[in-house]
Amino acid sequence: MPLSLVIFGASGDLTSRKLIPAMFQLFRKGRLPAGTQIIGSARTPFSDDAWRQALAKTTQEFNGKHFDQAAWDKFAPAIHYHAGDINTASDFEGLHKRLTELEGSAGATRVYYLATAPHTYEEIVEQLGASGLADEVHGPRRIVIEKPFGTDSASARHLNEVVHSVFHEQQVYRIDHYLGKETVQNILVLRFANTIFEPVWNRNYVDHVQITVAEEVAVGRRGSFYDETGILRDMFQNHLLQLLTITAMEAPVRYEAEAVRDEKVKVLSAIRPMAPETVAGATLRGQYLGYRNEPGVKPDSQTATFGAVRLAVDNWRWHGVPFYLRSGKAMSCRTTQIVVQFRQPPHMVFDSQPDHACDADQLVIQIQPAEGIQLHMQTKVPDAGMKLRQTDLEFSYSREFKGVMPEAYERLLLDVFQGDASLFARADEVELAWGIIDPLVSAWQKQAQPPLEIYEPGLWGPTSAAEWMDKQGRQWFDSCPVLS
């Protein structure tokens, strides 16, 4: 069946930087159904041609030397623009008419993509419902909703209610672009298509897990949004908790949306809720020096740009294994990695080793910038008696598979078109995730605990972060990308 992708927020950054380049790549790879149309909508008036030209320019910037003009010329006629205001019912009726004309009697699978500011989501959903645009008479109707999905449990629940008053849950795709990254999906393959990792993937062998999303960039032009949001809502509720669920979940019975999401929901339900008095000991927060001078940021802002959180997963597999989640802006480098830190060998037989100790094994799953996996393990140094040294086994995507790695949005858009919601958050999943984050946000704001520490840009966050780990007998994996 042909496809219509309707983008609300067509004049925004997400559309030009991510959605259109992803659609163009899918077109070049021949992955879009015949008769695919893209209809952008926003308030600014544009003709179809003017919008196509603007997008040609931004896509060219994005693709750089890989931009293929001839392919673009074939792709561009599928792009249309329809000016409209989300508060005006007649504009939705106009959009309905335009879509019906474009699709003709064949109908189409229609995907509505909300690339607008989050406060507009409810209005758009209600207008889609009222104008009949959500009716599935002439083909399936789906809706894609960008993060943030609410700002706490209550608002997420309310938004879910509004969405469900118009769409069934099976029509709803709550996007988290981290799930579109190849290595994140590869964690599922690593764990559930190999037998050798499962026996050690538990409390008997794993000491702890570290999940780090470090960004070198500061908040830049997003100061006013960020100052209201902060690191917990911007990164932890979604990306970091998603990475945790994929790392900690049980094997689903099959790779299918409900089965995968049922397992992720079980992990979120097993995370020990944090009582207000425990937040100070189990979290750290920081703000980079200079943040308060960023445009749009309050001069006395208490917003955290760095956070570290220790979570306990209370189930048979993970009881007693801390999960350390950490993220920050203006850090040493851009790296996203999951480190599974194994236990020390129970007894060291090599006397040559000082203190009879050695670094325990680590599995480093690097999600970006380069993607791949490294297993750090002990080896014998040649010609030096029984001296040991840590070395590694490595799998790198770019070395193993030639070609440009696909952007997360390519994979995710294709899944929406094919009706596969495995990599999208379900209603209960987002609500549970907010339930984990809400008490932290509240303790940080209301009790000002733990204290907000100012850190120098270009480091691994506040200096106390290392002491905090040290007291727990552990160390942060403060390494810039191990794979390049």
Which positions lie near ligand BG6, rule CB under 6 A?
Answer: 147, 177, 215, 234
- As to burial, measured by CB atoms within 10 angstroms (0-12 exposed, 13-18 middle, 19+ buried), residue 200 is middle
Using the minimum distance from each CB to ligand BG6, give the nearer residue, 117 or 357: 117
Minimum separation from the CB atom of position 100 to ligand BG6 (A): 35
Using the minimum distance from each CB to ligand BG6, give the nearer residue, 318 or 409: 409
Minimum separation from the CB atom of position 118 to ligand BG6 (A): 11
Q: Which residue is nearest to ligand BG6 (CB)?
A: 234
Minimum separation from the CB atom of position 484 to ligand BG6 (A): 17
168, 239, 347, 376: which is the annotated catalytic residue?
239
322-328 and 37-41 beta bridge pairing: unpaired
Residue among 223, 209, 384, 347 nearest 295 (CA): 223
Tokens matching residue 422:
């495995």
Minimum separation from the CB atom of position 177 to ligand BG6 (A): 6
What is the rounded distance in angstroms from the CA atom of residue 93 to the CA atom of residue 41? 13
Using the minimum distance from each CB to ligand BG6, give the nearer residue, 234 or 429: 234
| Side chain identity at residue 169, one-letter code | E
Using the minimum distance from each CB to ligand BG6, give the nearer residue, 71 or 217: 217
Q: Burial letters for 248-284: b for 16+ Cβ neighbours within 10 Å, e otherwise?
A: bbeebeeeebeebbbbbbebbebbeebeeeebeebbb
Cα 291 to chain centroid, rounded? 24
Using the minimum distance from each CB to ligand BG6, give the nearer residue, 234 or 415: 234
Using the minimum distance from each CB to ligand BG6, give the nearer residue, 234 or 371: 234
Using the minimum distance from each CB to ligand BG6, give the nearer residue, 2 or 230: 230
| Catalytic (active site) residue 239 | yes
206-214 and 335-342 beta bridge pairing: antiparallel
| 8 A C-beta contact, residue 208 and residue 321 | yes
Minimum separation from the CB atom of position 477 to ligand BG6 (A): 18
Using the minimum distance from each CB to ligand BG6, give the nearer residue, 82 or 147: 147
Tokens matching residue 245:
């669920």
172-174 and 306-312 beta bridge pairing: unpaired
Minimum separation from the CB atom of position 147 to ligand BG6 (A): 6
Sheet arrangement for strand 206-214: 388-396, 372-380, 362-368, 335-342, 206-214, 322-328, 306-312, 283-288, 452-455
Minimum separation from the CB atom of position 234 to ligand BG6 (A): 5
Minimum separation from the CB atom of position 62 to ligand BG6 (A): 14
Identify whether 369 is preceded by a cis peptide bond (ω within 30 of 0): yes
Residue 322: phi and psi, rounded to 5, are -70, 145
What is the rounded distance in angstroms from the CA atom of residue 434 to the CA atom of residue 248? 18
Minimum separation from the CB atom of position 148 to ligand BG6 (A): 8
Using the minimum distance from each CB to ligand BG6, give the nearer residue, 223 or 435: 223
Catalytic (active-site) positions: 239
